[in-house]
């Protein structure tokens, strides 16, 4: 369902059936949410396909827009251009537990990892939810990460759930959000591109919704600085190689600018794009893959901008007001827009 721009005056490309990253066939998403005591955090899992990702990785590209972050697995992804585990999103201090969970999962499927076989590259990305969650409690566990993977499906919640539970965007609550676009090429082929974001960025008062500034209600404490981050994931069923996927990922920056962000000094802004069209092989010698002609890539670059912008807005719309571990209250964008 399209929440924003129902009359199609802001975005040009049509959304997919679910308007979510899971419009790309084979992609699934799951959450594990922890709200107990001073914990308001969680894990979100994105699976490019339901097979053995270690033996059949997918091509991927990376764009680090601003590198203030503590993610795991980005260096090898940039070098090899592939993803070989589920992608986990969590808080900054939860990365280690999620890395361990991904290693244990991969070893369970391939017991010779690190021995006869190469080591696995666990991919975990993070944002700091410490304004809402008591991040020093280290509440994210291997079990929570495993739960997020186990619950992955084509239908999933958006908003203040999973890794988005304690996040903060332009002074509003959350969140995890998603959107998708359908791309019809002149030759007749139709492809999908979806985005999923873990949104935790932006200075209060800077948010633009379809180009219009939206004021943030007064918070209990003043915090005029942008010290947050955002992770943007793209999936497509088009046959793009890792270099082309890197080009797609870099367009995330245009989406953030349309929303009112300038990628502040302390913001970790990372985008990853992967394709499900060509499953690679750990055991092969020569791989025969299709690749989109470079002259046909422009609609995918436009789709990347539109889908990421809408994914942030969708996540904020679905978020619910959140009270932090120390009493800070974050309002919901949906409530603000309903009053205006």
What φ, ψ does residue 311 adopt, rounded to 5°?
Answer: -60, -40
3-class SS string, 76-138: HHHHHCEECCCEEEEEHHHHHHHHHHHHHHHHHHCCCECCCECCCCCEEEEECCCCCCCHHHC
Which entry of 71, 178, 261, 267 is annotated as an active-site residue? 267
Tally DSSP H helices, then E strands, for the chain.
Answer: 7, 16
Which entry of 23, 261, 269, 275 is annotated as an active-site residue? 269
State the Rg of the chain over Cα: 19
Please list the residues that pair with 90 across neighbouring strands.
126
Q: Is 257 left (phi over 0), alpha (psi -120 to 50) or beta?
A: alpha
Respond yes or no: is residue 267 known to be catalytic. Answer: yes
What φ, ψ does residue 191 adopt, rounded to 5°?
Answer: -130, 165
Pair of tokens at residue 123: 């991919």
Respond yes or no: is residue 229 known to be catalytic. Answer: yes
For 283-339, give the DSSP string.
S-SS-------GGG-HHHHHHHHHHHHHHHHHHHHH---EE-TTS-EE--HHHHHHH
What pairing do the DSSP bridges indicate for beta strands 268-275 and 229-236? parallel
Contact 339, 325 (CB under 8 A): no
Which entry of 199, 229, 261, 275 is annotated as an active-site residue? 229
Contact 102, 124 (CB under 8 A): yes
Active site residues: 229, 267, 269
């Amino acid at each position: 369902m399209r929440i924003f721009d129902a009359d199609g005056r802001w975005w040009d490309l049509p959304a997919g059936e679910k308007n979510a990253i899971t419009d790309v066939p084979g992609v699934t998403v799951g959450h594990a949410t922890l709200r107990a005591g001073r914990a308001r955090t969680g894990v979100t899992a994105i699976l490019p396909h339901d097979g053995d990702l270690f033996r059949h990785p997918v091509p991927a590209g990376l764009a680090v827009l601003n590198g203030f972050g503590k993610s795991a697995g980005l260096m090898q992804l940039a070098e090899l251009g592939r993803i070989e585990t589920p992608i986990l999103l969590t808080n900054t201090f939860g990365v280690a537990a999620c890395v361990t969970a991904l290693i244990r999962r991969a070893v369970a499927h391939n017991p010779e990892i690190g021995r006869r076989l190469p080591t696995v590259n666990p991919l975990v990305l993070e944002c700091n939810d410490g304004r809402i969650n008591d991040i020093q409690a280290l509440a994210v566990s291997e079990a929570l990460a495993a739960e997020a993977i186990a619950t992955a499906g084509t239908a999933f919640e958006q908003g203040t759930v999973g890794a988005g539970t304690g996040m903060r965007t332009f002074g509003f609550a959350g969140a995890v959000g998603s959107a998708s676009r359908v791309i019809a090429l002149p030759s007749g082929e139709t492809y999908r591109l979806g985005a999923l974001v873990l949104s935790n960025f932006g200075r209060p008062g800077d948010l633009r919704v379809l180009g219009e500034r939206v004021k943030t209600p007064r918070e209990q404490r003043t915090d005029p600085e942008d010290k947050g981050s955002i992770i943007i994931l793209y999936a497509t069923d088009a046959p793009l190689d890792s270099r082309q996927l890197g080009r797609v990922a870099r367009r995330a920056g245009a989406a953030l600018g349309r929303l009112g962000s300038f990628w502040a000094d302390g913001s970790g802004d990372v985008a990853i794009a992967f394709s499900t069209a060509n499953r690679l092989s750990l055991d092969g010698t020569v791989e025969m893959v299709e690749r989109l002609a470079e002259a046909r890539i422009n609609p995918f670059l436009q789709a990347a901008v539109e889908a990421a912008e809408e994914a942030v807005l969708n996540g904020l719309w679905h978020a619910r007001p959140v009270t932090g571990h120390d009493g800070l209250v974050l309002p919901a964008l949906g409530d603000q827009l309903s009053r205006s």
